[in-house]
Amino acid sequence: MSSLAQHPAAWSRTDVPEGLGLGALLPEPDGYRLEAGEVVVEGDERFLTRFTVLTDLAWATREARVEVVSARGTESVTLTAHGGNWTDGQGRPRPELRGCLDVDVAATPLTNTLPIRAWA
């Protein structure tokens, strides 16, 4: 398998008039890191989405960070997994996420890799 670090994935959004993304899957000593960004133009709205997902060697999500930059400013969220329990960037529990195994960043097809790899 060729490394996406050497050959990043690029995609075009089909659900918006203009959208282009680029991402990579990067192996790390204790798991994997998915890095991607996307630029979208829809009507008068323009924004940049950037995300990082960290997994363990079994592809279980450990952390997800998402940032959106738009005319309204920058918004970000960080979620960390602890054995089926999740906390936000300030360490506060997120009980509504209890039992969730991974994340799906809608802006990218790259996170679809997580459930596929976890069960492979």
Q: How confident is the model at residue 119 (pLDDT cuts 50, 70, 90)?
A: low
Q: Evaluate whether residue 4 is within a structural domain.
A: no
pLDDT tens per residue, range 62-118: 999 999 999 999 999 999 998 889 999 999 999 999 988 888 877 677 787 777 776
pLDDT for residue 40 is more than 60: yes
The 10s digit of each residue's pLDDT in 75-86 is 999 999 988 899
Which domain range does residue 42 map to?
9-118
Residue 20 lies in a domain: yes
- Bridge-based pairing state of the strands 73-82 and 85-88: antiparallel
What lies within 8 Å, CB to CB, of 106 at 6+ separation is none
- pTM summary value: 0.84
Supply the pLDDT for residue 1. Answer: 41
The pLDDT score that the predictor gives to residue 2 is 46
The answer to whether residue 2 is domain-embedded is no
Q: Is residue 21 part of a domain?
A: yes
Provide the pLDDT for residue 110.
77
Q: Could you give the CA distance from residue 93 to residue 21 in angstroms, rounded to a whole number?
A: 31
Q: How many domains does the chain contain in total?
A: 1
User: Residue 32 corresponds to which tokens in the numbers above?
Assistant: 């994997």
Give residue-wise pLDDT tens across range 17-35. Answer: 788 889 998 999 999 999 9
Secondary structure of residue 108 in the 3-state scheme: coil
Q: Tell me, yes or no, whether 3 lies in a domain.
A: no
* Domain contains 1: no
Instruction: State the SS3 of 42-102.
Output: ECCEEEEEEEEEEECCCCCEEEEEEEEEECCEEEEEEEEEECCEEEECCCCECHHHCCCCC
| pLDDT of res. 13 | 80
In the predicted structure, residue 4 carries a pLDDT above the cut 60: no
Spatial distance between the Cα atoms of 98 and 87, rounded to a whole number of angstroms? 10
Identify whether 86 is part of a domain. Answer: yes
